[in-house]
Structure 1
Amino acid sequence: MIKVTAVLLGISIVATTALSAQAQETFDTSAGSVRLETVAAGLDRPWSLAFLPDGTMLVTERPGTVRIVAPDGTLSAPLPGAPATRDWGQGGMLDVVPGPDFAGSGMVYLSFSEIEDGKAGTAVARARLVRAGGAPRLEDTQVIFRMNRKTSSTRHFGSRLVFAPDRTLFVTLGDRGDMERAQDTADHAGSVIRIAPDGSVPADNPYVNGGGLPEIWSVGHRNLQGAAINPATGALWTVEHGARGGDEINIPKAGRNYGWPVISYGRHYSGGKIGIGTAKEGMEQPVHYWDPSIAPSGMAFYTGDRFPAWKGDVFVGALRGAHVARLDLDGNSVAAEEKLFGALGERIRDIRQGPDGYLYLVTDSGDGRILRIVPAE
């Protein structure tokens, strides 16, 4: 482990950002001078971005909506058929990803805060995106996973969705603001779960024969808001919020315990000590951690050719830090870190690589934007 302190078609149009009028903001980086182009604006607390094969995008807005974004930046109206949710503190409509068979099935997957009787928990739904025969919409919406204990807390829902190379689905779940739940294998909170695309449990999950809930893959997590598959290894990487310090990158493995709240590199917001310290036998160490916290969110590995100097690097959005952290990897270790776009002054909620080989950022605000990183001319 290396510790580096952070210093990094039928669309009903309701809003349009013409490319000729896009704001252009230029920054010096290790890959040369780059420019941020506004692809779309006017989004209400956008949380996640997903690219579809035809170059259109899906974007979620935390208050409860899903929209289509055309390549020219036009936004659809909210799609009918999305699972019901609303702004619930840190919860609402969260992640979105296309299914591994999207080209044939049109299936997309959404994580969201499922709210019942004044209590909420993270859930996952799948639905079919239909763009023919009228306005685009989601059909056949079905909840395929829901965490097993809802509470009134408005904190720590997670939640990222990542399809593995074997087409199983990883879902990251926060501890819901109740830290002890993360050590309970009979509780979904504070865990990574692994399910099949229909919500069933893979036969090789670590607790299918007992000892914990069968969906659980790993435990001991605080609030995981970034996750991605490392294309070099096929392994899941996650990034999670610490408290006051102790944001972590982990490579969750089956049946492993990642320590929260028994061990941590952070402290309570009061300044008090968390757990017993930074290590305990039987608990995993992070690949990387930040102190002070950057409040990490979306995560992406860069595999494109637009920025050769960044190929193979991992990018993490920062909420509190209001920047992007670029991490130069040496195998499964972090060799160096670069802080990008701090002068932008925007909380970065998500990062995705587009099919065009550029990186895209999602800013977290009531007037949120989708930004594309391109070389400055």
Structure 2
Amino acid sequence: MRFHSTLLLAAALAVACSSAGAQSPGTAAKPFNAVEAGRFDEPWAMTFLPDGRLLVTEKAGRLWLQDVTSGKRTRIERVPDVVHAGQGGFGDVVLHPQFAQNGWVYLSYAETGEGNTSGAAVARARLDLEDNELEDLQVIWRQVPKVTGNGHYGHRIAFGGDGLLWITSSERQKFDPAQDMASNLGKIVRLRDDGSLPEGNPFAGQGDVAAQVWSLGHRNMLGIAFDGDGRLWVHEMGPKGGDELNLVEKGANYGYPIVSNGDHYDGRPIPDHDTQPQYRAPVITWTPVISPAGFVIYSGDRYPGWKGSGLIGGLSSQSLVRVSFDGERAREAERFDMGTRIREVEQGPDGTIWLLEDGDKGAQGRLFRLDPQAR
């Protein structure tokens, strides 16, 4: 069902969207035309090279280099082997902040383990644009432990202004590991660019994988971005209800699965955050959910009023959600009906926003360019 149907729009207008009581504004008139610029098979993530070409991952284990002007596409070879099942497969792709000098590209993916287990991994490799292949591939981080099932890998990656590497490690639909410091599941991880441990991680004294952890108590984190003041924002899918946008702080516990503003899919209730204030509450919650995927905080000038806003793709909501920030506060400002599942959001070098359509549940894996237009 399209998100702008009468019943769903009425529900969206009625739902409380944040811990401060803000409300969803419903769908808004689009200040852009969405122009199809390519098609992929189950695309998951993308990032732009300095020359304006685009790297795109496909879940089955393919990495593509696309010229967005000519449409010419080249497959990048020598990528890591991936487990392509359920939510698993090739994940994120991000450039090192000094990519122009060192050529490092960072990739996340699901890899196999013993006994029908799997887990997310992050590797870096040098991108050879002459032979169109990856060189010197190094795995620099892994989820611990590997577990059965093919859900909730998370494995979004980002670099902070200080050059450190941040990874969202979701709880693999196993619930309790999000609170277990012997595991890095359900955590946000902070590392140096080579995977080694930086100074200042809050649980370093516990050693082992706990030394990687910056925050805990997370569920399924599919978007990570820094704002212009260096604050880290992460969104995550809630259980049945209660999608979240969190301001991530050092050593904070966000409560899952002990608290959540949603409930378990089998109907068992989960206490809300306000019942146990020792756990950090989200800045925004969405019920009905938006199923957030992909996230940028926009820094360009092509869309009036958007600079500094968060842009979140919506899967089940089939939307692009714009979030307005005011310091440590945030609210949903606008929601644009895209009529299909949006998997990824990225900003191009000229400030243009690009979207990847999901490749599941009827979506076709299209690449869209959002051309600004007056409202």
Match of 1:186 among 171, 175, 182: 182
Match of 2:327 among 316, 326, 331: 331
Partner of 2:62: 65
Amino acid aligned to 2:80 = P
Is 1:348 aligned to 2:367, yes or no? no
Q: Which moved more, 1:309-318 or 1:279-288?
A: 279-288
Partner of 1:228: 225
The one-character-per-residue Cα deviations of 1:251-294 (angstroms, maximum 9, x if unpaired) are 11111100101111111123320146644242101111101111
Question: What are the equivalent positions in structure 2 for 1:188-203 lying under 5 Å apart?
Answer: 188-203=184-199
Q: Return the TM-score normalized by structure 2.
A: 0.89
Offset at residue 357 of structure 1 (A): 0.8
Match of 1:241 among 232, 237, 243: 237
Partner of 2:35: 37
Partner of 1:20: none
Match of 1:129 among 127, 130, 138: 127
Partner of 2:50: 53
Offset at residue 84 of structure 1 (A): 0.9
Is 1:2 aligned to 2:20, yes or no? yes
Partner of 1:16: none
Is 1:177 aligned to 2:173, yes or no? yes
Partner of 1:23: none
Q: Return the TM-score normalized by structure 1.
A: 0.89
Match of 1:285 among 266, 281, 288: 281
Question: What are the equivalent positions in structure 2 for 1:205-216 lying under 5 Å apart?
Answer: 205-210=201-206, 213-216=210-213
Partner of 2:96: 99
Q: Judging changes above 3 Å, is the alpha-carbon distance between structure 1 residues 207 and 362 closer, same or farther for their aligned structure 2 residues? A: same
Task: Tell me the distance in 1 between the aligned counterparts of 2:70 and 2:61.
Answer: 20
Task: Tell me the distance in 1 between the aligned counterparts of 2:23 and 2:318.
Answer: 15
Amino acid aligned to 1:319 = L
Q: Which moved more, 1:243-252 or 1:274-283?
A: 274-283
The one-character-per-residue Cα deviations of 1:112-146 (angstroms, maximum 9, x if unpaired) are 101123211011000000012x3x11111110001
Task: Tell me the distance in 2 between the aligned counterparts of 1:324 and 1:352.
Answer: 12
Partner of 1:373: 370
Question: What are the equivalent positions in structure 2 for 1:110-149 lying under 5 Å apart?
Answer: 110-117=107-114, 118-132=116-130, 134=131, 136-149=132-145
Partner of 2:302: 306
> Would you say how many aligned residue pairs link Structure 1 and Structure 2?
350
Q: Judging changes above 3 Å, is the alpha-carbon distance between structure 1 residues 56 and 279 closer, same or farther for their aligned structure 2 residues? A: farther
The RMSD of aligned alpha carbons is: 1.8
Task: Tell me the distance in 1 between the aligned counterparts of 2:195 and 2:175.
Answer: 26
CA contact (8 A) 1:52 1:58 kept: yes
Q: Judging changes above 3 Å, is the alpha-carbon distance between structure 1 residues 197 and 277 closer, same or farther for their aligned structure 2 residues? A: closer
Return 5+ residue gaps in structure 2 as ranges. Answer: 1-18
